[in-house]
Amino acid sequence: MSNLGVGVMAPEFTAVTESGETVSLRDYRGKRVVLYFYPKDDTPGCTTQACGFRDNYPVIEEKNAVVLGVSPDSAKSHQKFKTKFNLPFTLLVDEDHAIAEAYGVWVEKSMYGKKYMGIERSHFVIDEEGRIVEAKVKVKPEESVASALAALE
């Protein structure tokens, strides 16, 4: 369970993007960041969430914000997902789930009676100075986009 609340400094991280570049959260200082975590590329809920952010991206950019999507998938998987759905934002590779752990969203899940570790769908809206202004964990795909947009108002 994430213990990161509003007003807390967002945990710093460095990650590889779908295109193989290395970025750090601090690279985005001066902009607002919608950092969202999703379980898997090209699955129904994750596609809904990604396409919601895609469809609202011009509005997000107008609010001096960027979107960063994070999942444990590989750069190659991210590239396919990004191309297939024409996603205008960066996807970060978190194969060792270090970012998800730092944000408290790498959790035990259960499907068909089997327990396994995975990403809890969530998002964090981070201000220009790196502070969390909204933290939504265990969020539905459609609600994630609407809530993040409201937090950017």
Active site residue 51: no
Structural domain spans, the chain = 14-151
Which candidate in 46, 68, 87, 119 is catalytic?
Answer: 46
Q: How many CA atoms lie within 13 A of 7 on its CB side?
A: 0
Torsion angles phi and psi, residue 33, rounded to 5: -125, 130
Predicted TM-score of the model (pTM):
0.95
Rounded Cα distance between 34 and 54, Å, is 12
Q: Would you say residue 61 has pLDDT above 70?
A: yes
E strands within 94-153? Answer: 106-111, 114-119, 122-126, 132-137
Q: What is the pLDDT of residues 82-99, one digit of tens each?
A: 999 999 999 999 999 999
Instruction: Look at residues 23, 40, 29, 36 and name the one whose alpha carbon lies nearest to residue 125.
Output: 36
Q: Hey, what CATH class is 14-151 in?
A: alpha beta
